[in-house]
Structure 1
């Protein structure tokens, strides 16, 4: 958040003035600061009849510091109580009727996997309507469903797809509290693989992710048994080797710092002009610097040589450029440079590393797209094309890479506070910051936390996803 807003929000007179002129007064977001558990606070758990994620939800919550409550008047009360207690959780029943709920909640979690028709969507209303006002600042809403295209009927597909519209609307209602709402769609047979998504979305690591969906699938042949490794919440990447391109500053620097914080050995790569900054980042995080141009023919081999002792467990394609011009005035070299750096180089590096087995078994490929690749932007036809291409590449490659036991995902940042955004004219910058449900810009660490989630050894069932880190930007899908 810029100096102007920071100063205005630090005193009562400033806050009053902003409110008087109709400008938002955003809540400061709680972000991750080394917490030993992913969640702490009161959590209200609910379910539609025949919910199929209750067991996994109960198991995940057993690793948190949660005071779990459930609606005693719900038709599924006994199912919730029995399932959670079987996993060693203590529960408190409460009467959830409009105007009668005195408790406040840090999280509201609803298992909607049992929905079979649109008539049953009434269970969403029955659970959320009496308690939505009781959600605390920086609270979390999490809804669990099934992918609508895997439904048994059109009615069930409609009900599952309705969860997304419902959650996106809730996100806009609760954003003024700094709270968020997400949907996790879980394929049948992949229930236990949803653990990292449940933990991430309930945690402070997802502070600037709002109104989004993630799909969890079972990788490989259906008959295969996929087990999750045991991972320390504070050091999920311990023992892993990572490459971050464009790692000398801004978002790339934050990614490198965060993955190193999470236990990884990090190689950072950038061009010769950024060598001093690159080396400073590498020294600070105990990593290594690779000076290279990602579009150069020899760069994939340079990467392979640098990591030959360990191979790569994770590669983060963050390097990118903008060369903005209206298309009618755009020089050809602006087009070529942007597409080559932002898109083609990623494909060529991946092809080489995969062909030469540099990416290890159970590897992770994570690409950085952009909101402008989803919504487009005036004067950025080259940039938007490149970032939309990243999305298409990630979605397509998920299936062939699954055969190699490798996942691929992308993050799509919105307005993230960096030196580049500081150079934007004041009014344009302020509008960009406020055009989301949380009414503020994000921080580079918000992108980095999401990348660490995708990079986790536990995220075996999460591939082909595009996750916006934009505070629920009001532009784009």
Structure 2
């Protein structure tokens, strides 16, 4: 459903009225368009560690205009702040205050990215304090930016350096329009696994992907984005959605498979289909999901059990067979759809929130079990996304939900799909057990 308010406050004369009244003034976000520049202007690289030059070299290889300092009034498209050797809070001021002095020169749709290390790897209290301070500073900065600009962070495992391939993949995603609705979030690169840090027009070329719940909405958009990035597509949905499913699959030259994911033989049918048509399966996207909302006092077993069966139990069962099968690639990627409801809860959604929180727990535990292999599993947690489901929310509630994020608007299905495609790519192999929120820094949870 279109956001009429967003259109009105960006059109004359209502834009001036909204400004004078102090009303929220969301702007259209910079999203990915083939052929457009990765960044709308020069990239400012700040930092003093040896890793700073490694990051600058990656950006120069992409033919970006890289600067270490800006001229007065010069506009820039992104800033990358390198903090990989933080050991004391006193070291924070240099890079952050320099960034603050030029923030008014950031172009609309610009990006700010920090590269630092997680608190978990610190042994000294000073180091832990400095590392976690980046978390608070980055999330606060994301709430200060305007004009559709975003701020996100990359966290490096203790053995990961700034020239690791995964850093390049995360940088490309966060700098580009593909991360339009990702704001105030951190992506952890736990290992140096992955392909080289070079931009590719078809990062999923030669890989086969299954997308469940593919007949409509977010699932259909995931199909289109994965296909755009080069993947062979197997679109999966229930038989009742067969006509729509066929249209989605035919639209990308893929195949349609009518399967109820809760069926005991669902995993076997998916694996056999992939092996027969394409030789193996490389990417599994668990998108199928349902809602059956009721206050817990009014909840009945059918509503509770059906939501858990589709949203969580089916994923557990399919993953178990997938990971035990020789038809699933030794470098395979699993991406699961969670939700911000599973992080912060939501009134009337105890069943749905339980299922999505369960997905997060499953992802983290499975990632631990995959440690040391080339396989990965991650989750994407959407916030308020403009879909047929959210269009049914009462008008006032829907408007409030749209304005509660730092970007003051709902996301689009393509925003979720772009995050899925990033986590499914070989370049993100070092990302494992993560939950990437696509919520515009919605004011729920952490």
- TM category (shorter chain) comes to over 0.9
Q: How does 1:159-178 map to 2 (within 5 A)?
A: 159-174=130-145, 176-178=146-148
Q: Contact 2:6/2:409 (CA < 8 Å) preserved in 1?
A: no
CA deviation after TM superposition for structure 1 residue 183, in Å: 1.0
CA deviation after TM superposition for structure 1 residue 19, in Å: 3.4
1:104 to 62, 75, 97: 75
Kindly indicate whether residue 417 of structure 2 is the aligned counterpart of residue 448 of structure 1.
Answer: yes
CA deviation after TM superposition for structure 1 residue 10, in Å: 5.2
Q: Contact 1:107/1:141 (CA < 8 Å) preserved in 2?
A: yes
1:335 to 287, 300, 304: 304
2:371 to 402, 426, 432: 402
Give the Cα separation in 2 of the matches to 1:232 and 1:69: 20
CA deviation after TM superposition for structure 1 residue 241, in Å: 0.1
Kindly indicate whether residue 366 of structure 2 is the aligned counterpart of residue 375 of structure 1.
Answer: no
Give the Cα separation in 2 of the matches to 1:432 and 1:456: 31
Give the Cα separation in 2 of the matches to 1:404 and 1:304: 20
Instruction: State the match for 1:57 in structure 2.
Output: 55
Instruction: State the match for 1:8 in structure 2.
Output: 8
Kindly indicate whether residue 65 of structure 2 is the aligned counterpart of residue 67 of structure 1.
Answer: yes
Instruction: State the match for 2:96 in structure 1.
Output: 125
2:335 to 366, 382, 401: 366
CA deviation after TM superposition for structure 1 residue 181, in Å: 0.5
Alpha-carbon spacing, 1:333–1:169, altered in 2? closer, same or farther (3 Å): same
Alpha-carbon spacing, 1:292–1:242, altered in 2? closer, same or farther (3 Å): same
Instruction: State the match for 2:176 in structure 1.
Output: 203
Instruction: State the match for 1:249 in structure 2.
Output: 216
Q: Contact 1:322/1:338 (CA < 8 Å) preserved in 2?
A: yes
CA deviation after TM superposition for structure 1 residue 339, in Å: 0.8
Give the Cα separation in 2 of the matches to 1:35 and 1:401: 37
2:261 to 294, 299, 313: 294
CA deviation after TM superposition for structure 1 residue 152, in Å: 3.7
Q: Contact 1:60/1:198 (CA < 8 Å) preserved in 2?
A: no
CA deviation after TM superposition for structure 1 residue 67, in Å: 1.8
CA deviation after TM superposition for structure 1 residue 21, in Å: 4.4
**Residues 23-47 of structure 1: per-residue CA shift (max 9 Å, x gap):** 3121111111113763352111110
**Unaligned runs of at least 5 residues, structure 2:** none
Kindly indicate whether residue 274 of structure 2 is the aligned counterpart of residue 307 of structure 1.
Answer: yes
Kindly indicate whether residue 153 of structure 2 is the aligned counterpart of residue 186 of structure 1.
Answer: no
Q: How does 1:459-474 map to 2 (within 5 A)?
A: 459-474=428-443
Give the Cα separation in 1 of the matches to 2:159 and 2:216: 41
SS at structure 2 position matched to 1:243: strand
Give the Cα separation in 2 of the matches to 1:143 and 1:331: 47
2:85 to 95, 108, 114: 114
Q: How does 1:191-270 map to 2 (within 5 A)?
A: 191=161, 192=164, 193-218=166-191, 226=193, 228-229=195-196, 233-270=200-237
Kindly indicate whether residue 400 of structure 2 is the aligned counterpart of residue 431 of structure 1.
Answer: yes
Q: Contact 1:40/1:64 (CA < 8 Å) preserved in 2?
A: no
Give the Cα separation in 2 of the matches to 1:334 and 1:294: 17
SS at structure 1 position matched to 2:275: coil
Instruction: State the match for 2:38 in structure 1.
Output: 38
**Unaligned runs of at least 5 residues, structure 1:** 72-93, 96-100, 220-225
Give the Cα separation in 2 of the matches to 1:385 and 1:46: 42
CA deviation after TM superposition for structure 1 residue 308, in Å: 1.2
CA deviation after TM superposition for structure 1 residue 284, in Å: 0.4
Q: Contact 2:41/2:75 (CA < 8 Å) preserved in 1?
A: no
Alpha-carbon spacing, 1:262–1:227, altered in 2? closer, same or farther (3 Å): closer
CA deviation after TM superposition for structure 1 residue 20, in Å: 4.4
